[in-house]
Protein backbone atom coordinates (compact mmCIF):
# COMPACT_ATOMS: atom_id res chain seq x y z
CA UNK A 1 0.00 0.00 0.00
CA UNK A 2 1.42 3.41 -0.97
CA UNK A 3 1.99 6.02 1.72
CA UNK A 4 -0.33 9.04 1.63
CA UNK A 5 2.16 11.81 0.83
CA UNK A 6 -0.48 14.49 1.47
CA UNK A 7 -0.10 13.92 5.21
CA UNK A 8 3.65 14.70 5.14
CA UNK A 9 4.65 18.15 6.38
CA UNK A 10 7.99 19.95 6.70
CA UNK A 11 8.23 21.42 10.24
CA UNK A 12 10.78 23.47 12.16
CA UNK A 13 10.76 23.44 15.90
CA UNK A 14 12.62 22.75 19.11
CA UNK A 15 13.28 19.53 20.98
CA UNK A 16 11.08 19.63 24.08
CA UNK A 17 12.80 16.57 25.57
CA UNK A 18 14.36 13.34 24.40
CA UNK A 19 15.17 10.31 26.55
CA UNK A 20 17.49 7.77 24.87
CA UNK A 21 16.64 5.15 27.53
CA UNK A 22 12.93 5.39 26.67
CA UNK A 23 13.69 5.62 22.97
CA UNK A 24 11.60 8.69 22.23
CA UNK A 25 10.92 12.33 22.97
CA UNK A 26 8.89 15.24 21.69
CA UNK A 27 9.31 18.29 19.47
CA UNK A 28 7.49 21.61 19.78
CA UNK A 29 6.62 23.00 16.35
CA UNK A 30 7.36 26.67 15.62
CA UNK A 31 3.82 26.74 14.18
CA UNK A 32 2.24 25.55 17.44
CA UNK A 33 -0.07 22.58 17.55
CA UNK A 34 0.36 19.21 19.22
CA UNK A 35 3.73 17.86 20.33
CA UNK A 36 5.48 15.83 17.63
CA UNK A 37 6.75 12.36 18.56
CA UNK A 38 10.44 11.79 17.83
CA UNK A 39 11.36 8.08 17.90
CA UNK A 40 14.96 6.97 18.40
CA UNK A 41 14.92 5.08 15.07
CA UNK A 42 14.28 8.34 13.20
CA UNK A 43 17.16 9.92 15.11
CA UNK A 44 19.42 6.94 14.32
CA UNK A 45 18.55 7.25 10.62
CA UNK A 46 19.99 10.78 10.91
CA UNK A 47 23.15 9.29 12.46
CA UNK A 48 22.65 10.21 16.12
CA UNK A 49 21.58 8.28 19.20
CA UNK A 50 20.53 11.35 21.19
CA UNK A 51 19.62 15.01 20.83
CA UNK A 52 19.86 17.82 23.39
CA UNK A 53 16.76 19.34 24.93
CA UNK A 54 16.25 22.78 23.41
CA UNK A 55 18.03 21.92 20.14
CA UNK A 56 16.52 23.35 16.98
CA UNK A 57 15.24 20.68 14.65
CA UNK A 58 13.83 20.50 11.15
CA UNK A 59 11.79 17.38 10.37
CA UNK A 60 9.31 15.84 7.99
CA UNK A 61 6.21 14.76 9.92
CA UNK A 62 3.34 12.42 9.29
CA UNK A 63 -0.10 12.68 10.89
CA UNK A 64 -1.44 9.35 12.16
CA UNK A 65 -4.48 8.26 14.15
CA UNK A 66 -2.26 8.46 17.24
CA UNK A 67 -0.92 11.97 16.56
CA UNK A 68 1.90 13.65 14.67
CA UNK A 69 5.29 11.97 14.45
CA UNK A 70 8.61 12.80 12.85
CA UNK A 71 9.50 10.45 10.00
CA UNK A 72 12.74 12.11 8.83
CA UNK A 73 15.18 14.61 10.30
CA UNK A 74 16.47 17.28 7.92
CA UNK A 75 18.75 19.14 10.35
CA UNK A 76 19.57 19.65 14.02
CA UNK A 77 20.96 22.88 15.44
CA UNK A 78 22.54 22.91 18.92
CA UNK A 79 20.64 24.82 21.62
CA UNK A 80 21.36 28.52 22.08
CA UNK A 81 24.28 29.04 24.43
CA UNK A 82 25.79 31.93 26.26
CA UNK A 83 29.47 32.82 25.97
CA UNK A 84 30.36 31.37 29.36
CA UNK A 85 32.88 28.53 28.92
CA UNK A 86 31.45 25.21 30.08
CA UNK A 87 34.81 23.98 31.37
CA UNK A 88 37.60 25.84 33.13
CA UNK A 89 40.05 24.46 30.52
CA UNK A 90 38.20 26.52 27.90
CA UNK A 91 38.05 29.80 29.86
CA UNK A 92 41.42 31.14 28.66
CA UNK A 93 41.07 30.04 25.04
CA UNK A 94 40.36 32.31 22.13
CA UNK A 95 37.76 31.05 19.65
CA UNK A 96 40.51 30.69 17.02
CA UNK A 97 42.22 28.18 19.33
CA UNK A 98 39.17 25.96 18.93
CA UNK A 99 39.44 25.83 15.14
CA UNK A 100 41.18 22.45 15.02
CA UNK A 101 40.10 19.93 12.37
CA UNK A 102 37.38 17.39 13.07
CA UNK A 103 38.93 14.05 13.99
CA UNK A 104 37.26 10.63 13.71
CA UNK A 105 36.72 8.98 17.09
CA UNK A 106 34.86 6.21 18.87
CA UNK A 107 33.18 6.46 22.30
CA UNK A 108 35.01 4.37 24.90
CA UNK A 109 32.32 4.99 27.54
CA UNK A 110 29.99 7.79 28.58
CA UNK A 111 27.91 8.12 31.74
CA UNK A 112 25.26 10.84 31.47
CA UNK A 113 24.56 10.68 35.22
CA UNK A 114 28.22 11.43 35.98
CA UNK A 115 28.32 14.03 33.21
CA UNK A 116 31.38 12.76 31.39
CA UNK A 117 33.11 9.95 29.56
CA UNK A 118 35.97 9.23 27.18
CA UNK A 119 36.57 8.57 23.50
CA UNK A 120 39.59 7.58 21.43
CA UNK A 121 40.69 9.18 18.18
CA UNK A 122 40.98 6.47 15.51
CA UNK A 123 44.51 5.10 15.47
CA UNK A 124 45.32 6.27 19.01
CA UNK A 125 44.85 4.73 22.45
CA UNK A 126 44.96 8.16 24.15
CA UNK A 127 41.75 9.02 25.99
CA UNK A 128 39.90 12.21 25.07
CA UNK A 129 37.68 13.64 27.82
CA UNK A 130 34.02 14.22 26.87
CA UNK A 131 31.95 16.54 29.08
CA UNK A 132 28.15 16.46 28.97
CA UNK A 133 27.93 20.26 28.52
CA UNK A 134 30.18 20.11 25.45
CA UNK A 135 27.81 17.44 24.11
CA UNK A 136 24.78 19.59 24.86
CA UNK A 137 26.32 22.60 23.14
CA UNK A 138 27.01 20.35 20.17
CA UNK A 139 23.34 19.29 20.02
CA UNK A 140 23.73 15.85 21.67
CA UNK A 141 22.62 14.64 25.09
CA UNK A 142 24.09 11.17 25.49
CA UNK A 143 26.49 8.76 23.80
CA UNK A 144 26.68 4.99 23.52
CA UNK A 145 29.87 2.94 23.89
CA UNK A 146 31.28 2.23 20.44
CA UNK A 147 29.44 5.12 18.78
CA UNK A 148 31.39 6.82 15.96
CA UNK A 149 31.96 10.56 16.32
CA UNK A 150 33.83 13.47 14.81
CA UNK A 151 35.41 15.75 17.41
CA UNK A 152 37.48 18.90 17.68
CA UNK A 153 40.10 18.16 20.34
CA UNK A 154 42.53 20.39 22.24
CA UNK A 155 45.25 19.73 24.79
CA UNK A 156 43.68 20.95 28.02
CA UNK A 157 45.22 21.55 31.43
CA UNK A 158 44.55 17.94 32.42
CA UNK A 159 44.87 16.16 29.08
CA UNK A 160 43.09 15.86 25.72
CA UNK A 161 39.62 17.38 25.69
CA UNK A 162 36.78 17.45 23.16
CA UNK A 163 35.54 21.00 22.55
CA UNK A 164 33.01 20.09 19.85
CA UNK A 165 31.33 16.77 19.09
CA UNK A 166 29.33 15.66 16.05
CA UNK A 167 27.63 12.45 15.09
CA UNK A 168 29.85 10.80 12.49
CA UNK A 169 27.29 10.96 9.67
CA UNK A 170 26.51 14.64 10.29
CA UNK A 171 30.22 15.53 10.28
CA UNK A 172 30.84 13.62 7.04
CA UNK A 173 27.90 15.41 5.40
CA UNK A 174 29.25 18.77 6.66
CA UNK A 175 32.71 18.06 5.19
CA UNK A 176 31.25 17.33 1.75
CA UNK A 177 29.16 20.54 1.79
CA UNK A 178 32.26 22.74 2.36
Q: Domain 88-177 belongs to what topology?
A: OB fold (Dihydrolipoamide Acetyltransferase, E2P) (2.40.50)
Handedness of CA 33, 52, 139, 166 (dihedral sign): negative
The Cα 96–Cα 76 span in angstroms is 24
Stated pTM of the model: 0.67
Q: Structural domain boundaries of the chain?
A: 5-77, 88-177
The Cα 88–Cα 69 span in angstroms is 40
Q: Domain 5-77 belongs to what topology?
A: OB fold (Dihydrolipoamide Acetyltransferase, E2P) (2.40.50)
pLDDT at position 1 is 42
Are 5-77 and 88-177 in the same CATH fold?
A: yes
The Cα 133–Cα 175 span in angstroms is 24
pLDDT digit string, tens, across residues 126-175: 899 999 988 888 888 888 899 889 999 988 888 899 988 888 776 555 55
pLDDT digit string, tens, across residues 4-21: 556 789 999 999 999 888
pLDDT digit string, tens, across residues 70-111: 999 999 988 876 555 455 555 455 445 556 788 999 999 999
Amino acid sequence: MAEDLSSLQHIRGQVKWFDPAKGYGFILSDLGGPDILLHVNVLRNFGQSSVADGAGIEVVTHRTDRGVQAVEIISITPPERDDTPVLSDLADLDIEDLDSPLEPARVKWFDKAKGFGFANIFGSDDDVFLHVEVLRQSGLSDLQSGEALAMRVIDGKRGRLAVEVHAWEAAVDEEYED
